[in-house]
Structure 1
């Protein structure tokens, strides 16, 4: 089915959602570019699925504006918004064949049968389901069912794709394969996509930009590289990355960051009695005790195949270091963690905000 739909922008302006007295979404503002793949990322209950359902028209907007292209759709019914939604549950009709499931949106639109058959074959080919068109959903694997749901969304060539955790029911290997397929497909089709997930690996690999949310509020918006390298606050720093960033609480005075057993020179930071230093596991090394930034004892050593993870016990917390796959160290041995203080992040412990050195 040929499309006269060009990819459209989405403008979300000061969008709020209240359930009674509960403020579920707090003044969300986002501009999504035409053809962009934007991921809404955050833990359960952060408001990301609520935001997606409001864009779809499945939840009303308490206040604010929503534009798709240059049309204000704040009050428009879902069926007039030119969107297609892919859910976590796939939502397939069990008694209809794969072909009937994929073609259902066109059947509803009363598209002639010959044109519909051709469109179904084309959409099925795009997600590699050509040989399975006569099967019922119950005869398919989870990954195949998810591809049927995608094909059904593609066939309408909507202006916007909305995807709510579409890969969360798949096993790890299949998730990896489907991520690659999704990214390739969105690239080919160029359809503006908003994708909700709590999985930051998914966000990092799929997104042109990531919008990180917590407690109904947008925390940071940027490319995966930006939010990973320059997190706006402690929450973003701790949420992005696997294993997450290491944090140590201390203070800055007279050009030194000081914490238990740790004293580092830092330049350009004002004195502050409550500062948290953050450094990523891949930005540090295990070295001999007394030769790094902080001495600690090894809590566990894990070989993961492509790397080794060394977890240290420091004060009342764990600090993790990524080492090469052939590295080994005994549990409970003493060693030191070495890292470059210039590569570390500093945060105001009270507000969580990232501190930047004076120019």
Structure 2
């Protein structure tokens, strides 16, 4: 059975970059996060590199094909490997690549807030943003037959700078995955942008389930597999710009309702509903609550209605995507 977390879910209601006050964040002085193994600590430290001044720096700018060529030799040598598996030559190559600051110019098709991770000491309020970058501006969320994206991620230490530049998820991405896993269109087509940041080899995603040239399946929770075209990503993102060099618009992002009315309902992907039951009793979520699921963590948003399986004095068990989930009674309308 899945059990709900008691941690705050406030950040999961956010839909865009926001300025972050890192004062008091218990992970600020822990670049390795809460990693336990040397591999994890090394990878987390790479993700948590600080903001740097890019003025005057000659940064190579790749399109998606160029980015993949740049890392192809290393990828070919290290299929399925983790950092602990690398030989001396491969480790030297890794260190040289991860020191590089590069730019990727591509279309931002999908964006979403990352889950609590050891990189950020498991924080709910300080998290990465995942940006799925594609060669072409797709008019639909990622689906079987599409090429897999290149992943770029902002980090809490760099998010405020990205925000102050004027970059906004809702104005740049074509589609947005909400914390309740519903994928919705934004107010515009995917925008061609240039993302600059450090190269990072995310060997935690270097297996067949994650890596491949084309998407084969989309699961009931809305995640596509394979997820990405390479374990290499830009992380942390240091800067986001429009590819045409124009400044970002100051216009407020459109609401989800406006975006949905502007595009076909077929463009909206929602998680598969639980199996139908005869006149099931339902409960309504009245306060956001984080739950653990097979793929990590997600949030049950206020207003969600879920089939009731059972209840006791302290908890109720509901059906979420076909799985029983125990949540505090006080988070529902049965309190």
TM-score band w.r.t. shorter chain: under 0.3
- Structure in which a larger fraction of residues adopt strand: 1
The TM-score normalised by the length of structure 2 is 0.24
- Structure in which a larger fraction of residues adopt helix: 1
The TM-score normalised by the length of structure 1 is 0.23
